[in-house]
Structure 1
Amino acid sequence: MQPKKVGFVVFVLLFFFQSIPKTPALGVDFIEKAHFNEDGSGLFSIEVDLTKAGTVLSIIKCLNLNTSCKLIKSIGYKSLHNAEECLKSIADISQVGMRYDEKKLKFELSFNFHTIKALNKAMRKINKGLDPPKITYFSLQDGLFVRQDMNGIAKKVLFYQEYDNCLVKSLDLACFFKQTTYTTIYTFPKEIKDCSNPLSELTKNKKTIRIRHDVFAPDQIEDSIGNRIHFIQ
């Protein structure tokens, strides 16, 4: 099937699912994990979980197997694979790897970072085109950890929709992607004293903090995944 026809089929399905109230909304789950060591090094991973999109992808698969494979790769594999290649050239980034579970529709990109500065460089590569090029995503000093999220995930998508000249402009993204989530899970060597994001959840040992952000939830758009965390000294 030709690329233009592939796109047409996909958007027909999008409109079809959007027009039926009882049809489950399409959702994508993003899971961002980071383990920070005392010296500022650590392990980072980002997972894209398309399990919720399984119904739509199954219908596309029935129409054309090649179309389904191309769609899956375009949604998750291609973007993360491109990022994987870019990360390998960054100093103080190592053990870059990507896993793709075709059966479970999950993609994961992971790497070790030796400094916070290197982690920020890697994040700029992953989010290229979505955020300002000089943004500092993570900072860790003087007992304070900051996760910056300048624009908010939902705002980025809505901004793209407003200025993009394509069929996406006609979709009610807040409704169609209402099940989309972005989860952050950060683990530190010290206990957490307090944090700024009201969506934060602490583990019993107070060393791991989790935020599950429902991207298009009206009461969560402003909070998003940004956070300021103080540690017990």
Structure 2
Amino acid sequence: MKSKFLLFLTFLLVFSSCNFTENLNVKDDGTGTFALEMDGAGLMAMAGDKLSEGLNQKKDTKVIDSTFSFKEIFEAKKDSIAKLSPEQQAALKKMENFVMRIKMNAEKQQFLFSMDTPFKSVADLQNMMDGFKILNDLKGKSDNGGMANPLTDGLGSNAKVDYSYNGKTFTRSATMNKEALDKVKNDSLGMAKMIFASSKYTLKYHFPKAVKSVSNPDALFSADRKTITVEYPFTDYSENPEKLNLNVVFE
């Protein structure tokens, strides 16, 4: 039943768009919050009732508003996690404070999916996506026979991403790993490219100081210059994560 639903969901993603947003909020003391968000309103517009049934497995439920922590996921997967290497377990440990939220309302054509976490330093976010890939592998093998889930795969990344902030400058640096790059090239005409062909990936970064300059020429500024936004087609970002590299200098 789950496999049939995922096939149905994949079909919908091919013919509708989803917007992914990387939302970063940095405070004066360097602490802040980080969130990965997906707006799947296009899915709800096409088949809200079927999507609700597939996720909730209750035909009479039209609204879903669910929140749970990654600690709960890890507890359910503790036996599998114990078999992982120390490095893989450490990568998952970084994700313990993430909270996942799903809001779905077929009548309002609303489908919002987010994962967010607080951080004590921007450096805490280094290579955070490693944990998502490991968790996706664990969930994929046990929950759906190894079949890819477009939702969680879409929030992943094909690169190592480093962040730094010292009050004067901020940098976001993505480096594509060879294995992921080869996979993307091999699938350049495959399902993944079809699924996200009309989707967008957006960076929305909020800082405590006004921005003097930013290296990315496509960045847009808020009126107070404390927020920058950069948007790219998702497939462009997936194949060339370096396009969203940033070097920000504050006033």
Do both share a fold (TM > 0.5)? Answer: yes
Q: Percent identity?
A: 19
1:140 aligns with 2:165: yes
Go from structure 1 to structure 2 and tell me whether the alpha carbon gap of 1:7 and 1:38 turns closer, same or farther (over 3 Å shift): closer
Of 121, 124, 129, 1:118 maps to 124
Is 1:47 matched up with 2:71? no
Query: What is the RMSD computed on CA atoms of the aligned residues?
Result: 4.2
Code of the aligned partner of 1:189: P
1:159 aligns with 2:183: yes
Q: 1:137, 1:147 within 8 Å by CA — same for their partners in 2?
A: yes
Amino acid paired to 2:114: E
1:186 to 205, 208, 214: 205
C-alpha deviations, 1:161-220, integer Å up to 9, x for none? Answer: 726xxxx9644x5565332011111111222111111220111111111112222469x9
Contact 1:84 1:109 in 2 (8 A): no
- Alpha-carbon spacing, 1:57–1:68, altered in 2? closer, same or farther (3 Å): farther
Q: How many correspondences in the alignment?
A: 199
Query: Letter of the aligned partner of 1:206 in structure 2?
Result: R
Contact 1:215–1:224 (CA<8 Å) still a contact in 2?
no
Task: Sort the Cα spacing of 1:10 and 1:181 in 2 relative to 1 into closer, same or farther, 3 A.
Answer: closer
**Which string of whole-angstrom CA distances, capped at 9 and with x for unpartnered residues, describes residues 70-126 of structure 1?**
7xxxxxx9xx965885699449x85x4222102111111222101223222644423
1:186–1:210 CA contact under 8 A, matched in 2: yes
Contact 1:84 1:98 in 2 (8 A): no
Report the CA distance between 1:144 and its aligned residue: 2.0
Do 2:23 and 2:205's aligned partners in 1 also have CA atoms closer than 8 Å?
yes
**Which runs of structure 2 are paired with 1:96-115 in the superposition (5 Å)?**
96-103=98-105, 104-115=110-121
| 1:157–1:84 Cα change, 3 Å | farther
Q: 1:31 to 1:157 in 2, by over 3 A?
A: farther
3-state SS of paired residue (2:44): helix
Unaligned stretches of 5+ in structure 2?
A: 58-64, 75-90, 135-155
**How far off its partner does 1:229 sit?**
0.8
CA distance in 1: counterparts of 2:6 and 2:217, whole angstroms? 39
Equivalences for 1:1-233 in 2 at 5 Å?
Answer: 1=1, 3=3, 5-6=4-5, 13=11, 25-58=15-48, 61=50, 66-67=53-54, 69=56, 85=73, 89-90=93-94, 96-103=98-105, 104-120=110-126, 122-126=128-132, 130-131=157-158, 135-141=160-166, 143-151=168-176, 159-160=183-184, 162=186, 170-171=190-191, 174=193, 177-216=196-235, 224-232=243-251
Distance 2:6 2:92 in 1: 32
TM-score (ref. length: structure 2): 0.61
CA contact (8 A) 1:27 1:52 kept: yes
Whole-angstrom distance in 2 between the partners of 1:176 and 1:35:
29
Gaps of 5+ in 1: 19-24, 71-76
Q: 2: distance between equivalents of 1:115 and 1:182?
A: 24
- State the secondary structure of the residue aligned to 1:52: helix
TM-score (norm 1): 0.65
Partner AA of 2:198 in structure 1: Q
Shift of 1:47: 0.9
